Amino acid sequence: MAAVDLTPRQPRKAYGGEGGAYYEWSPADLPMLGVASIGGAKLSLSAGGLALPSYSDSAKVAYVLQGKGTCGIVLPEASKEKVLAVKEGDALALPFGVVVWWHNLPEATTELVVLFMGDTSKGHKPGQFTNFQLTGANGIFTGFSTEFVGRAWDLAQEDAAKLVSTQSASGIVKLKAGQKLPEPLAGDRDGMVLNCLEAQLDVDIKNGGRVVVLNTQNLPLVKEVGLGADLVRIDGHSMCSPGFSCDSAYQVTYIVRGSGRVQVVGTDGKRVLETRVEGGNLFIVPRFFVVSKIADASGMEWFSIITTPNPIFSHLAGRTSVWKAISPEVLEASFNTSPEMEKLFRSKRLDSEIFFAPN
């Protein structure tokens, strides 16, 4: 595992046009995506941009990084779409089989940017999402003969041909002036979205950091997706305690903003990653490896998915750390140190949990 390159990466543009662009991380650039069967992508829509209806081969969590707009979701076997107003900080769980479209309002002054991370283990390509467009130049129905399309939609063959061939763009379009999409319904957000910037904090440490965890309690759909997630914000020069996922999950982290340093230690006590991370970077921590981060002066914010719906972490420093639970005699023998040094070690970080403010 130590031989796998863990270097954080930025995504590459896959396609786009006047309405916006779709970017993705590739296992060729970030090999851990393939190892962990995790996909990562980003959608950026300009004012009036529409990401055409599509479905995916992977269950995902979507997180709105910037802007506000509209999202349409058709759940499997539903007779009506849900139309949601979305804004920065919103997290959505998108199970298998959902058909989704995204729209940035024509009057928007900023791009609508959405991050997608998910499980590709049942997908066509390990480590990469495959999206199936319902319309557009590469839409599903461009592959069927006009006879099949006509029979399916009860249209004359020339009408079927005309309907399928009118959309020349792939994946993303820009609405024509005056074109309107359905207005969002307030009730459609219920059970579908959790805003991580407004949700109750799971951890709040003064001058240290804050965490909101997505789990089956506050967003029940994550159970269907099979993923947990969290939004972490740490203050300038704060440290996130060394810790590991103790339920064999992978942790996939996207740096939303800010910058800092990260170290990852793997088997045989080897440091397998030491690097600086900044906004736009994605990196993956292998199972059971220990990770720690220290923010630069501006602080750091990251959104992570964890490959289990209710993740459990063990920390190796702070009030709740493993060391505070281990008996003094074992600690003394393990470190081969004096009782005085053991007492000094144990007396530290008695009131700090997982974030440590600068001294």
Read off the pLDDT of residues 33-65 as tens digits, 9 standing for 90 and up: 999 999 999 999 999 999 999 999 999 999 999
pLDDT tens-place string over residues 247-304: 778 989 999 999 999 999 999 999 999 999 999 999 999 989 999 999 999 999 999 9
Per-residue tokens: 181: 């999409």
Alpha carbon distances (Å) from 173 to 2, 101, 103, 164, 233: 43, 11, 10, 15, 34
Who's near 63: CB < 8 A, 6+ residues apart?
90, 91, 92, 114, 115, 117, 196, 229, 231, 254, 303
pTM over cut 0.95: no
Q: Each residue of 125-146: pLDDT tens digit?
A: 999 999 999 998 899 989 999 9
Pairing type for strands 290-306 and 239-245 reads antiparallel
The two three-digit tokens of residue 246, written as one number? 């103790």
The pair of structure tokens assigned to 198 is: 């407004």
Beta bridge partners of 221: none
